[in-house]
Amino acid sequence: MNIEYLFIVIAIMSAATFATRLPPFVLFSGRGQHPLLQFIAKYTPPMVMTILVVYMLKSVDYLSAEGFYAAIALIVTIGTHLWRRNALLSIVAGTVTFMALVQGWF
């Protein structure tokens, strides 16, 4: 336990994290109307969202009970969203389903 070391590590990690979020705003400030940047702005979100979903699902062991629970919870999430299109409702429904299955509420 070394408080001084911890303070420096926190300072370094804060700066390094901010350094990954700041560059586009500095490098391209005022050039957001450029056609290529608009193209990137439009198609990055759908690609990132697809990749984030794959990323979240990749660590699930599909041969275990948890994989089965995750599949059920995912179906509940998607089904609820297609049915009501209420983001909060879909997320709560899917999460509660998963928690109920994993914790064995039934």
Partner 1 sequence: MIRAALKTTLPIFFGYLPLGIAFGLLFQELGYPWYFATLMGICIYAGAAQFMAVGLLAAGAGFVEIAIATFFLNSRHIFYGLALLNSFGDWGLRKLYLIFGLTDEVYSLMSTIEVPEGADKPQFYFLMTIFSQSYWILGCTLGAWAGTKLVFNTQGMEFAATALFTVLLIEQWIKVRKPLPFIIALIASAIALLLFAQHMLLFAISLSLIMMMLLRATNQKVRDEY
**Residues forming the site for partner 1 (CB under 8 A):** 1, 3, 5-6, 8-25, 28-29, 31-33, 36-58, 70, 73-74, 77-78, 81-82, 87-88, 90-92, 94-95, 98-103
Is residue 90 within 8 Å of residue 77, measured between CB atoms?
yes
Is residue 41 within 8 Å of residue 32, measured between CB atoms?
yes
Query: Which is closer to partner 1, CB of 29 or CB of 106?
Result: 29
Q: What minimum distance in Å lies between the beta carbon of 75 and partner 1?
A: 10
Instruction: State the burial class of residue 39 (Cβ atoms within 10 Å of its Cβ: 0-12, 13-18, 19+).
Output: exposed
Q: What minimum distance in Å lies between the beta carbon of 63 and partner 1?
A: 17
Q: What minimum distance in Å lies between the beta carbon of 62 and partner 1?
A: 14
